[in-house]
Amino acid sequence: MPPSTKYRRVLLKISGEALMGAGNYGIDLPTVNCIAADIKSVCDMGIETAIVVGGGNIFRGLSASEAGMERATADYMGMLATVMNALALQTSLEQLEVETRVMSAIPMPSVCEQYIRRRALRHMTRGRVVICAAGTGNPFFTTDTAAALRATELGCDVLLKGTQVDGVYSADPKTTPDAERYDRLDYLEVLSRDLKVMDASAIALTRENRIPILVFSINQPGSFTNVLCGEGSYTIIDHLSAGECL
């Protein structure tokens, strides 16, 4: 019997950096295969799954803009990087016999489907994993905001952010060993403390639509399934204060 969970439909946001493995750039296929196996386990539980992928492992639009590139062009290049990551993840999932559709906010019919909300919903109700690529299709918006938008559009019960750390910290635990880790936060606490877990637009959108955010380490095998079952290490962000009991 599969483990029980209260979630029927979920959206997983995977940062581009999570696909690098131990490297500093690009796509590490063993890492992608491991993440795909986790996603398959969730699908086997009967949970409808959508995914938004970042592109920071290949190209960061904001960094290029800060280096002198015109911002809109840099952001479009970053969107194309997310499509590359989405296709890599699709390949790994299909090798595990998980039916998958990549849907891009930027039309590119030779490569993948165009994102259309009703079509994405139809895929999900038929048990297909929908990988949303190219962010929102607009410059100046992050893939975090795209994840919050897609979670809202698709009626997801929860947004999960898979990162390289096991929750939200007061500072980067890789550079600040004594950083405080939070088990639970309110949306407004994230904004007031400037915790950088997601950008302000994404936090505001999930808050307005009452979509909880679960932040966990996607690089720990089985973590996606565990978090959905209320197990393992993660941080929950919702309307309840950090002091209230789960």
CATH classification at residue 205: 3.40.1160.10
Q: Counting Cβ atoms within 10 Å, is residue 177 exposed (0-12), middle (13-18) or buried (19+)?
A: exposed
Residue 173 tokens read as 């635990």
Residue 139, in any domain of the structure: yes
Is 194 a domain residue?
A: yes
Cα distances (angstroms) measured from residue 22 to each of 25, 164, 226 = 9, 11, 23
Q: How high is the pLDDT of residue 49?
A: 98
| Exposure letters 26-61 (e unless 16+ CB within 10 A, then b) | ebbeebbbbbbbbbbbbbebebbbbbbbbbbbbbbb
Q: Evaluate whether residue 1 is within a structural domain.
A: no
pLDDT, position 82: 97
Asked if residue 166 belongs to a domain, the reply is yes
Range of the domain at 202: 9-238
Output the pLDDT for position 239.
Answer: 86
What are the per-10-residue average pLDDT scores of the chain (246 residues)? Answer: 77 94 91 97 97 92 77 93 97 98 97 98 98 96 96 98 92 88 94 91 96 95 94 91 42
Tell me if 4 is assigned to some domain: no
In a domain? residue 144: yes
2 within a domain of the structure (yes/no):
no
C-alpha pair distances (Å), 114 with each of 2, 65, 102, 175: 33, 27, 8, 40
Q: How buried is 232 (Cβ within 10 angstroms: 0-12 exposed, 13-18 middle, 19+ buried)? A: middle
Residue 245 maps to a domain: no
Output the pLDDT for position 2: 53
pLDDT of residue 15: 92
Overall domain count for the chain: 1
Q: Residue 12: what pLDDT?
A: 98
Query: pLDDT by residue (tens digit) across 157-207?
Result: 999 999 888 999 998 888 888 999 999 999 999 999 989 899 999 999 999
